[in-house]
Chain A
């Protein structure tokens, strides 16, 4: 199992880092921060399942 994981991602080295002035981040942390931003944007942009149907039902109740 370890061999399979090692074949996919080689972890046998010191961590890669991103350095910008005093900012010093591991690449793994940068990836997590980028993922959080992507999830945040998707949460704003993607429609919630059933929201349109429930809104239409509410409008129908209001009109009737």
Chain B
């Protein structure tokens, strides 16, 4: 029996060529770096069950309060925040949320410093946190000198000498209300919020830093004490 000639299989219809536009590249990179289950996890490692891991999110909560109360103050203006009861209330909310922000941010910084939170490829997490702290300081200063009262005048005339001494007084003039107010309600808040967002995304990408492995360290120290120190390392492997 002779074989029948077989027809070639029908060619599949050509699909659209893969797009290489910048949006596709950006999307692919974002999904690769931060897959959804890592961006919004439904669980945390065991070691996060500690109060010392609370202060980062407490700082974010305080920042939300700062921005919200600051938006209301910006809409209503100095006459309202100085001369009405509700204005005083929101003025106080704004001040005390800033105090709370710095308080919990400093405790967060201490906690992360003593657990060496830059371990395991988390250098950029540490650096963005440090820069956020450094940017938050002039953000607060520009607020103190924008109050439109004698306190603001006192602080600005005290601060100007220091700022002139380091050479930034020409473009960061604390006695210029308009300039300080612009810095305070636009430029510094944008910088702080963007830095905090970047910091949180980097934490989500790299994971929360684990505490030092005390058992490994104890074993290494014990080995060093018994003379095997040349072979034992006290370096945390992470």
Contacts and interface: CB of A to CB of B under 8 A. Distances in A.
B103 A40 contact: no
Contacts of B106: 36
B49 A50 contact: yes
Given A32-B103, A36-B103, A36-B107, A43 B52 contact: yes
Interface string B37-50: 00000000010011
Query: Interface range on chain B: under 10, 10 to 19, 20 to 34, or 35 or more?
Result: 10 to 19
Contact of A43 (B49, B99, B111): B111
A46 B51 contact: yes
Does more than half of chain B's interface fall in helix, strand or loop, or is it mixed? helix
B48 to A, nearest CB: 9
Does more than half of chain A's interface fall in helix, strand or loop, or is it mixed? helix
B107 A44 contact: no
A28 to B, nearest CB: 11
Interface in B120-163: none
Contact of B107 (A40, A46, A50, A55): A40
B51 A54 contact: no
Query: Interface range on chain A: under 10, 10 to 19, 20 to 34, or 35 or more?
Result: 10 to 19
A48 B49 CA distance: 6
Nearest to B52: A43
A42 interface: yes
A18 interface: no
B110 A40 contact: yes
B50 A48 contact: yes
Interface of B: 46, 49-52, 54-55, 99, 103, 106-107, 110-111
Interface of A: 32, 35-36, 39-40, 42-44, 46, 48, 50-51, 54-55, 58
Closest CB pairs A-B (n = 5)? A51-B49, A43-B51, A43-B52, A48-B49, A40-B107
21 contacts: A32-B99, A35-B103, A36-B107, A39-B107, A40-B107, A40-B111, A42-B51, A43-B50, A43-B51, A43-B52, A43-B54, A43-B55, A43-B107, A44-B50, A44-B51, A46-B51, A48-B49, A48-B51, A50-B49, A54-B46, A54-B49
